[in-house]
A and B are shown apart, each in its own frame.
Chain A
Amino acid sequence: DIVMTQSPDSLAVSLGERATINCKSSQSILYTSNKKIYLAWYQQKPGQPPRLLIYWASTRESGVPDRFSGSGSGTDFTLTISSLQAEDVAVYYCQQYYSPPLTFGGGTKVEIK
């Protein structure tokens, strides 16, 4: 199974400041034939299901604010919130969909400082 490791477990950021979340896969999740990275990022608020933010490591889902961006290559990936808003308080997860079983990172809790 592909292991997804996130860091940090939590972070507190001031409103309007940048938040950066890291995710590392235990093996490459780049499919060489189509050059796509099979990585997604989700946001989950208490009592709600996960919400897809980013797929193919860097493509924003429709309706997601452009302050959210994804980057990375190989086995190291980053989700950046460029200017933290109050409504961004949540837990963020990465997930690989390169090969079953689909696996998720342990989550990063983002709070306001």
Chain B
Amino acid sequence: QVQLVQSGAEVKKPGASVKVSCKASGYTFTGDYIHWVRQAPGQGHEWMGRINPNTGGTNYAETFQGRVTMTRDTSISTAYMELSSLTSDDTAVYYCARGPPARSPNCLDVWGQGTTVTVS
């Protein structure tokens, strides 16, 4: 079945960077966009951006421009999200999600289990 499996929880110091991975299985990795969405404790969902795994092209939310980098390794069907200059406001659960162009590349039909990032 279609699955996105994310890397484990991270604890980082303020000013550090974090890199979260998202391994896809059960479908053609290069066929569908991968989005990153975060949810801070008690807060709503915040879209960070997306990557086209086929081309490597990215679109980032303005809020994160200059601080986020999304990449992929097609040989292992894995997408990555790196966030730099961390502050306590970046403490959140980070999700990757799939956006299949056959439906709409921005409709998120399958989600990873989430990765908790704690900045302290």
- Residues of A with Cβ closer than 8 Å to B? 38, 40, 42, 48-52, 55, 61, 93, 95, 97, 100-107
Q: Which residues of B41-70 have CB atoms within 8 Å of chain A's CB atoms? A: 44-47, 50, 59, 61-63
- Against A, the Cβ 8 Å flags (1 = close, 0 = not) of B74-104 are 0000000000000000000001010100011
- Please tell me if the beta carbons of A100 and B61 are within 8 angstroms of each other in the complex: yes
B residues contacting the other copy or chain, number (CB 8 A):
25
Which residues from B are CB-within-8-Å of A49? 95, 97, 111-114
Evaluate whether A52 and B47 lie within 8 angstroms (CB atoms) in the complex, with A100-B59, A101-B61 already known: no
**Is B72 at the interface (CB under 8 A from chain A)?**
no
- Specify the chain B residue showing the minimal Cβ separation from A55: B107
B7 at the interface (CB under 8 A from A): no
Residue of A nearest to B113 (CB): A49
Minimum distance in angstroms from A79 CB to a CB of chain B: 15
Decide: A97 near B106, CB < 8 A? Known: A50-B45, A104-B44, A107-B44: yes
Question: Given A93-B45, A100-B47, A106-B44 in contact, is the A52-B107 Cβ separation under 8 Å?
Answer: yes
Given A49-B95, A95-B45, residue A101 in contact with residue B62 (CB < 8 A): yes
- For residue B57, give the distance in angstroms from its CB to the closest CB of chain A: 13
Chain A residues closer than 8 Å to B44, beta-carbon distance: 93, 104-107
Interface centre among A93, A97, A104, A105 (most CB of B within 10 A): A97
Task: Report if A104-B45 is in contact (Cβ < 8 Å); known contacts: A49-B95, A49-B113, A55-B103.
Answer: yes
Which of A42, A50, A51 gathers the greatest number of chain B CB atoms within 10 Å? Answer: A50
Q: Would you call A52 and B45 a contact (CB within 8 A)?
A: no
Whether B61 contacts A95 by the Cβ 8 Å rule is: no
Contacts of A48 in B (CB 8 A): 113
In whole angstroms, how far apart are the Cα atoms of A95 and B97 in the complex?
A: 14
CA distance A100 to B111 in the complex (A): 18
In the bound complex, what is the Cα–Cα distance between A102 and B82 (angstroms)? Answer: 19
- Given A52-B107, A55-B103, A97-B107: A102 and B47 within 8 A (CB)? yes
Q: How far is the CA of A61 from the CA of B111 in the complex (A)?
A: 14
